[in-house]
Structure 1
Amino acid sequence: MPRAAIFDLDGALLDSIDLHAIAWHEAMVRFGHDVSFEQIRSQIGKGGDNLIPVFLSESAQRDHGEELDAWRSQHFKAKYLPLIRPFSAVPDLLHRARDAGLLIAIASSAKRDELEKYLDIAAIRKLVDVTTSADEAHESKPETDIFEIALQKLAITGSCALAVGDSPYDAEAAGKTKVRTIGVLCGGFTENLLRQAGCVEVYPGPAALFARFEETFLTK
C-alpha cells in the first residue's frame, strides 16, 4: 500500500479546466496570437512556462511572454476564479484516504495564491499535509519539479506514493519520479491519452474513486 496520495487540483478535484482555457485563449487573442480555444484546451495541465512556448516564438516570448502571462493570471482571478467549483465527493475522498493511513499532498502547477484559494473552494485545507505550487518549481508539469518537491516534503520516495491527476502531463511528470498515477476523466482528457501517458487506472472522477476506494491502487 502507498504511504501518500499526491493530488492535482485543476481538473482532478476542481472543475476549472475550461475556465483556464478560456482565460488563456482571451490572453492570446489580446496579445495578437491566433490560437483557438481547442488548441489551448489541449495544453491545460502545464504551467505557463511550458504552455506559452507551444504558441509563441522565442522572439515573441522575449517581447511579451511575461506580460501575457501576468495579464492572463489577473484576468483569470478577476473573472473566472469565482466560478470554480469542486467535483462531487472531494472532501469525502480525501477523508477516506486519510482514514486509510495515507499522507495527502497537493502538487499543482497553479501559482501559490491561486492554490491557497483552491484549497478553500474544495474545502480540503485541513485534510492536506503538504502542498507544492508552481512558485516553488523551476519548471512546471510535465517536468518533474513539482513532484520532486512534494516527495521531499513528504520524506518518501516515488515508489511509496500514488498520484491522482486528470491530464497526461500529470502522469508524465509523476512517472519520471517513479510515482504511479490514477487518472480521472473529469478534466476532459480521454482514457486512451491518460493510459498512453502512464496511468495505471482511470476513473470518471473523485466520486467514483471514493465509491470504489477499496478496489483502487490507493489501497494496494
Structure 2
Amino acid sequence: MALQAVLLDIDGTLVLSNDAHAQSWVDAFREFGYDVSFEQVRSLIGMGGDQLIPRVVPGLTDEEGDGGAIAQRRKEIFLKHYAPKLSPANGARQLIQHMLQTGLRLIVASSASNQEMEVLLKAAQVDDLLKVTTTSSDAEASKPAPDIVEAALSKLNKPPNQVLMLGDTPYDIKSANMAGVGAIALRCGGFDDATLAGAKAIYDDPADLLAHYADSPLGKNA
C-alpha cells in the first residue's frame, strides 16, 4: 500500500539532544552517589528512563526509591541546564515541510515527557508544524518496546504497512520493527551504521534525506 504517514522520533532525529540527555543522566546519577560514565549512558540514549535506569544500575527502577528520584532529577537538569542550548538537526524543518506538502500525516513518536516534548519541538524549530504527538504518558514501556509506535499507529488509525518511522537509534528501529513498521535511520544521533542495522535506509541527517527524497523509501512508497 502507498505510504500514508510517518512516525517521527525527535531526540537525535529532529534536534541534536542526545549528548545533552546523556550528560543529564550522568549529572543526576552523580547527585545520588552513583558513579556512571558518559560513555556508559550515551549508548543507551533513545531508551526511556524505565529501560535505561535498570541497565545502568541493576536493581533500580524509575518508579521508586533512588531510581525514581534520579529520573525526576534528570528531567529537571535537562530542562534547566541543557535544553536552552539545543540546536535543530540540519534540515529538520525543511524535511518536515516537504513531507507535509506531499500529503503525509506526521506524528511524533517519542518517550519524552509532555513538558520535554514542548521544549524539544521548539528547539527543533518545528513546533508550529507538528501538532500530533505521543509521549511517555501514552505507553507503558518506552523504546525499544513497541508501545510508543503502537500508540502512534492507534492515534493515526493506520495499519503498519502504510507507515514508516524516522529515527536515529537502534531502539527506534527495534521498536518500529516490533510493531511491523519499517524504519529510516539518521546518523546525526551519533550511532554508527552497524548499530542501525535493520533500517530500510540510513542518511546523515534530515537534509541528506531530503536531498535524496525521491530515491528514499519515503519517495518510492509515495
Query: TM-score w.r.t. structure 2 length?
Result: 0.94
Q: Share of identical aligned residues, percent?
A: 38
Amino acid at match of 2:22: A
Change (3 A) 1:59 1:174: closer
Kept in 1: contact 2:91–2:205 (CA 8 A): no
Matched, 1:9 2:10: yes
Aligned with residue 67 of structure 1, among 69, 74, 78: 69
Q: Which residue is equivalent to 1:92?
A: 94
- Aligned counterparts of 2:147 and 2:201: Cα–Cα separation in 1: 23
- Aligned counterparts of 1:59 and 1:138: Cα–Cα separation in 2: 17
SS of 1:164's partner is: strand
- Aligned counterparts of 2:160 and 2:123: Cα–Cα separation in 1: 28
Q: Gaps spanning 5+ residues in structure 1: where?
A: none
Q: Which residue is equivalent to 1:205?
A: 205
How far 1:117 moved relative to its partner?
Answer: 1.6
Superposed CA deviations along residues 78-123 of structure 1, whole A, max 9, x for unmatched, are 1001011101211110111112221011011111111012222222
- Aligned counterparts of 2:128 and 2:19: Cα–Cα separation in 1: 27
Figure out how many residues of one structure are paired with residues of the other and give that number: 218
- Aligned counterparts of 1:59 and 1:116: Cα–Cα separation in 2: 28
- Aligned counterparts of 1:98 and 1:92: Cα–Cα separation in 2: 10
How far 1:63 moved relative to its partner?
Answer: 3.0
Single out whichever of 62-71 and 121-130 deviates more from structure 2.
Answer: 121-130
Q: Which residue is equivalent to 1:116?
A: 118
Q: Which residue is equivalent to 2:193?
A: 191
Superposed CA deviations along residues 106-141 of structure 1, whole A, max 9, x for unmatched, are 011111111012222222233225210112211110
Amino acid at match of 1:40: V
Kept in 1: contact 2:40–2:56 (CA 8 A): no
Superposed CA deviations along residues 62-91 of structure 1, whole A, max 9, x for unmatched, are 531101111111111110010111012111
- Aligned counterparts of 2:41 and 2:23: Cα–Cα separation in 1: 8
- Aligned counterparts of 2:60 and 2:78: Cα–Cα separation in 1: 25
Single out whichever of 104-113 and 119-128 deviates more from structure 2.
Answer: 119-128
- Aligned counterparts of 1:193 and 1:147: Cα–Cα separation in 2: 20
How far 1:176 moved relative to its partner?
Answer: 0.7
Amino acid at match of 2:113: K
Q: Which residue is equivalent to 1:43?
A: 44
Q: Gaps spanning 5+ residues in structure 2: where?
A: none
SS of 1:192's partner is: coil
Matched, 1:107 2:104: no
Kept in 2: contact 1:130–1:154 (CA 8 A): no
Root-mean-square deviation (CA, aligned residues, Å) is 1.3
